[in-house]
Amino acid sequence: MITIVWSAVLVLLARENLTETIAWHTDYGKSLKVAERHDRPLFIVFDSGETKSEHTSGTGSFLSDSVEKALVADYVRMFVDTDTDEGLLLAVKFGVVEFPRIVIIDRSGEWQVYTHSWIYTSEDILSTLNRFRRTKITRMSPTIIQAGSTTSSSFSATLCKT
């Protein structure tokens, strides 16, 4: 009897962990905690709430099957609704001044390793996801830019302290 109960508890915990990493989150603090708990980078999309389904569902123009699989396998995903005061404040914190925008936070939760505004192909997105999926900054780099800078790069790393 104890074995059956213990097995049920393990199944529920596994399901909760899976749901936690598959879901699109909307709370930055909780997203960082999930990313830390699962040792994954945080993939953030900043845009109007009206476009959320375009970015977070398979029916939108953003998610190809390969992009969706890479996000589910390696990232914690977050959508920031820039129509809200909270979302706009978070965008300002990250120096995001144009929408939509992608930001990737490394697995340590301390560094913004990538930022880019739209629009590019699924192949470009997939290449970026593969490039940063295991990134974890462990020491200061002389190429780090200050948080709040609007500098971005075309498919290259941009490091900002979060």
d(CA 79, CA 44): 6
CB neighbours (10 Å) of residue 73? Answer: 12
Reading the block at residue 2, the tokens are: 């104890």
Amino acid 56: pLDDT: 75
Q: Domains in the chain, start-ordered, CATH in brackets?
A: 24-161 (3.40.30.10)
Q: Which amino acid is at 120?
A: Y
Contacts of 7 (CB under 8 A, 6+ apart): none
pLDDT tens per residue across span 47-78: 998 888 777 776 666 677 888 889 999 999 99
Reading the block at residue 52, the tokens are: 């959320």
pLDDT tens per residue across span 6-26: 544 444 444 444 456 678 999
Amino acid 73: pLDDT: 93
